[in-house]
Structure 1
Amino acid sequence: MASPKETNVTMGSLEKTPSEDSALREPSWTPEAERKLVRKIDLSLLPMLWIMNLLSWMDRANLGNANIAGLTSDLRLSSSQFSLAVVIYYGISLTTFSFVDILLITGVVGYILFTPLSSLLLSRSRPSLYLPTLALLWGVVTALTCLIKSFSALLVVRILIGVLEAGLTPGMVFIFSSWYTPSEMGKRTAWFLTSAQCGGLFGGLIAGGLMKDLEGARGMRGWRWLFLVEGVVTVVVAAVGYLVLVDYPESGKARRRFREEEREIAVGRLRRAGTVTGVGLKEKGEGKGSLGLGRTMMGALGSRRVWLFSVATVMYSGAAILTYFYPVLVRGLGYTDPVMAQYMTAPIWGVAVVFNLGSGFAADRFPQYRGLVIVSGLVLISLTAVLTCVIHDFTARYVLLSFMTGGLWMAYSQCLAYLGDLFRNLHPDVRSFAIGMVTIAAQMGYFYGAYCFPAENAPKHLLGFGTVAGTSGCAAGVYFLLWWAVRYSDRKSARTLLEVAG
């Protein structure tokens, strides 16, 4: 049984103020006023975060595109070295100590420390400044990638980009949970992640176009132009982000963008949904409500939900490495022309968009079953991966790979929405740190995933698809357990509140 002090750290407080009780009983605003507010929130957050994530995912996908566009031959990389360049973005490696290993350890420490600390900094700072600054810096590093001439230089830029991009996705989850209610999270997260899918879609098309049209222009290879153009565009977008993004409902910049009445509705509807806000903490006499690093970490580490979510995420996140190997896998399915292999990744991403948006709307329609939507996506991944291992017809495997991708994004988008939903009753500092912890867990899966598709296993890649099938199936079981445990806990809490009220 948690002590009162622990409860205060992890749950904000179970004691409701009179204003909280009135907000829970009857809203003081009209549905039309709330709809107008939500549309205004959408316009203030979604477009800019969507574009930032688009550029981030184009960078990730473009490493795979550059792989077959000449990067590996120009830098004289082996298959294992390219896998290392992929995985170093996430800061995960186990090797003996050498010069390269020092770089790897730097990546490990940088990413693992920066992800939760970045989330914590976001909860205590201004997203309208913090996120554009990250985008500005990773844009500069991406542009400088066009100058690399060695494997070591490639590792350095991937480490830097990984550290800088580490704050974007957990930052999105935290900001969304600070503005949206549970029944709104699924659609917004799904729309946000269409940027990732468009990044994969456009990344393949742009890479194909650059390889064909800019190859050799001004003495540079096409893949170098790819990183240069993307980096410059990212810097421009970051500059606009300083002007467009808003902070939290109770922040100063939100006061300039939203009227007082709108801010009261924004805070009130969050508290009705059980979200711990800075305003609520002030009313409880906790000042700004900021916790020390020690209490924040203990609050996150002491949550069973955080650990269950992290374990399940480690299991299935290895399947996400498929996004880096789509061009290689498609080429192994029979599309041997490099340009055609780039273009044939586009329909796969199109299927991902359909599954992503469909799952978002379905999960928001029935938010109590969001966990089962995740389980369904993971089961689909596992089944299609098994079939890919036993079916060797090129066309059939291409279709299976498309549905596997659909299941992957179906699960991923609703995992992010579920993450913000399950942790919304935590103290804001604890919530942000917990989101960072789960994000780290997601990167752990890339450690084994990046080495599951070596070139010597082409074109069948039985090791890779077999691993995806097994880990996704196990993750489905853990997520089902988490969903069932949360449902049981929520029902028990509801009964207790009714007994107290009665």
Structure 2
Amino acid sequence: MSLQPKKEYESSQRPKIPWYYYLWDSFGKEPAERRLLVRLDLSLLVFSTLGLIMRYIDQTNLSTAFVSGMKEELSMFGLEYNYCNTAWSVGYVIGQIPGNILLNKVSPHYIVFGLEIGWSIMTLCTTWVKNWHQLCFIRFMVGLFESAYYPGLLFLIGSWYTKDELGKRSNIFQAATAGGTLISGVMQAGIYKTLNGKHGMAGWRWIFTIDAIISIPIAISAFFLIPDLPWDIKPNWIFKQKDIDLARKRLTIAKRQGPQKGGLNKKLIWNIISTWHIWVFTFVYSCYIFSQNPQQSMSFWLKYSKDPKYSVEQINYYPCGIWSTQIVSALGFAWISDNLLKGRRWPPLLLVALWHCIDCALLAGLPVYPDNRAGRWVLYYLSGIVNCTPGLLYAWCSEIIGESSEKRGIVMGTFNSVAFSFNAWLPLLLFKQTEQPTVHKGNIAASVATALQFLGILGILYLSTRDFNRQVQEESFDEGLQTPGEIEDVDRKERSV
């Protein structure tokens, strides 16, 4: 018998939950289920996380390279840095929805391999750029190849794991975004110090070469280790038929369905646009993505400081505190959500949004270079807490839209795509390179966006609870049962095994 927290459909005579269950949920499972989870964790979770670390190293190395000599070498003294970021965002937006649709039609390990190889080659090409126009084109291609990876892998993770497991895995995956960003800064600082000028090449160029060399073996490994969707996978050297049967049984109990033949049709499209999920999730995620922009100001804050004056290595090292904060908060809130809060996602999401609203407001209101700068250091570092949002939000989306794999994939791809489409041009107005690190209007706008995000999370909670109540009432009516007088919050209902 499984030793998980009690579900409403299980007997009240269940054993007491062992303490080690709260450290890692598979410890309290039956042997067959534990074996399945170990194989999933060592294949899907490990290699998707490694791929995301490299994706974020490749994505964020532009900012570390910019403050490490790229600005001067490529004459990027105006808004060229913003233009390159916008080019990446355009490519990223274009590929989102098609990529997520393909994951329901083509074996994911082919898609993941193609994406990783594509951005690795484009990253390598950055080594030899001669001007910012070439850089713009390459960043567009990098964004295009990276587009479907993040939402696609979260979709795949949400297709295998159940509710008491999903929050932790989603936020471990999310923590990789911070890991990649942190490693990028540390690598750039180390490479600048040791390789700058080697073979006639600037230190900032070496980072792109080394990124590609590391990324390609991970892409090849992912081809053999990333599993297909549980409804389509065939027995292989990792997953036996009994593992696949158990995985499908778990998802049936969790009321999560796989791709349907002919599932992508006019009826599905109407269902997507006529229900609230795509609109409210997109609104919340768009607010979140924009609210991250103040974090990038720390590198400029260090670069333009006159007293003290920071070295290139320090400018790359010091912002790593933001990503360290993200890793700790992402993992901490994931364990709290899965265990102490019994799978409820909204309490940490609301708490994080409230804090970040205050954080951005203080960044806007306080002096940029006061005599005592400790307060601004703290505000920049604690701004990383908001980055635990995506893991919990994607997990919540997977649980709410469990009845249709196609709808879940399109909704996830859409809210990520729309969010980055806004973030492609808004920073050009509110976080201009020429106005860094003050960006007063940008910090105020980020605070307002996070307040709207807070309201959007409340909207998801209300609407998902309303839908759950209606579903229970309809099922009770169909079964000839009396409608319950009081229905619990949907997030208190656990539907996983």
TM norm structure 1: 0.84
Q: State whether residues 115 and 436 of structure 1, in contact with CA within 8 Å, keep that contact through their aligned partners in structure 2.
A: yes
Indicate whether 1:275 and 2:256 are aligned: yes
How many residue pairs were aligned? 448
**Cα separation, 2, equivalents of 1:480 and 1:112:** 27
Q: State whether residues 115 and 167 of structure 1, in contact with CA within 8 Å, keep that contact through their aligned partners in structure 2.
A: yes
Where does residue 441 of structure 1 map in the other structure?
A: 418
Q: What pairs with 1:357-368 in structure 2 (closer than 5 Å)?
A: 357-365=331-339, 366-367=341-342
**Cα separation, 2, equivalents of 1:297 and 1:476:** 28
**Cα separation, 1, equivalents of 2:456 and 2:309:** 37
AA at the equivalent of 1:39: V
Q: Identity over aligned residues, as a percent? A: 19
Where does residue 321 of structure 1 map in the other structure?
A: 293
Where does residue 376 of structure 2 map in the other structure?
A: 397
Q: State whether residues 330 and 341 of structure 1, in contact with CA within 8 Å, keep that contact through their aligned partners in structure 2.
A: yes
Where does residue 205 of structure 2 map in the other structure?
A: 224
Q: What pairs with 1:277-356 in structure 2 (closer than 5 Å)?
A: 277-278=258-259, 281=260, 289-292=261-264, 294-322=266-294, 324-332=296-304, 336-356=310-330
Q: State whether residues 321 and 450 of structure 1, in contact with CA within 8 Å, keep that contact through their aligned partners in structure 2.
A: no
Unaligned runs of 5+ in 2: 1-7, 12-28, 482-497
TM norm structure 2: 0.85
Which structure is higher in helix share? 1
Where does residue 417 of structure 1 map in the other structure?
A: 395
AA at the equivalent of 1:310: T
Indicate whether 1:238 and 2:205 are aligned: no
- Post-superposition Cα deviations, 1:37-91, rounded to whole Å, max 9, x if no partner, equal 2222111201110111001111122111011111121111134111111122111
**Cα separation, 1, equivalents of 2:316 and 2:414:** 34
Which SS does the other structure have where 1:369 is aligned?
coil
AA at the equivalent of 1:379: L
**Cα separation, 2, equivalents of 1:325 and 1:88:** 20
**Cα separation, 1, equivalents of 2:292 and 2:266:** 32
Q: What pairs with 1:476-495 in structure 2 (closer than 5 Å)?
A: 476-495=454-473
Which SS does the other structure have where 1:306 is aligned?
helix
AA at the equivalent of 2:86: V
* Deviation, structure 1 residue 31: 3.4
Q: State whether residues 319 and 381 of structure 2, in contact with CA within 8 Å, keep that contact through their aligned partners in structure 1.
A: no
Q: State whether residues 64 and 185 of structure 2, in contact with CA within 8 Å, keep that contact through their aligned partners in structure 1.
A: yes
- Post-superposition Cα deviations, 1:122-177, rounded to whole Å, max 9, x if no partner, equal 11111112101110111011001111111211111011011100010111121112
**Cα separation, 1, equivalents of 2:298 and 2:65:** 12
AA at the equivalent of 1:276: Q
Which SS does the other structure have where 1:149 is aligned?
coil
Q: State whether residues 39 and 238 of structure 2, in contact with CA within 8 Å, keep that contact through their aligned partners in structure 1.
A: no
Q: State whether residues 423 and 431 of structure 1, in contact with CA within 8 Å, keep that contact through their aligned partners in structure 2.
A: yes
Where does residue 84 of structure 2 map in the other structure?
A: 85
Distance 1:190 1:252, change over 3 A: closer
Distance 1:276 1:250, change over 3 A: closer
Unaligned runs of 5+ in 1: 1-23, 92-106, 282-288
Q: State whether residues 53 and 196 of structure 1, in contact with CA within 8 Å, keep that contact through their aligned partners in structure 2.
A: yes
**Cα separation, 1, equivalents of 2:30 and 2:274:** 38
User: Please, which moves more after superposition, 445-454 or 350-359?
Assistant: 445-454
AA at the equivalent of 1:463: K
Q: What pairs with 1:122-137 in structure 2 (closer than 5 Å)?
A: 122-137=103-118
User: Please, which moves more after superposition, 248-257 or 208-217?
Assistant: 248-257
Which SS does the other structure have where 1:89 is aligned?
helix
Distance 1:311 1:268, change over 3 A: same
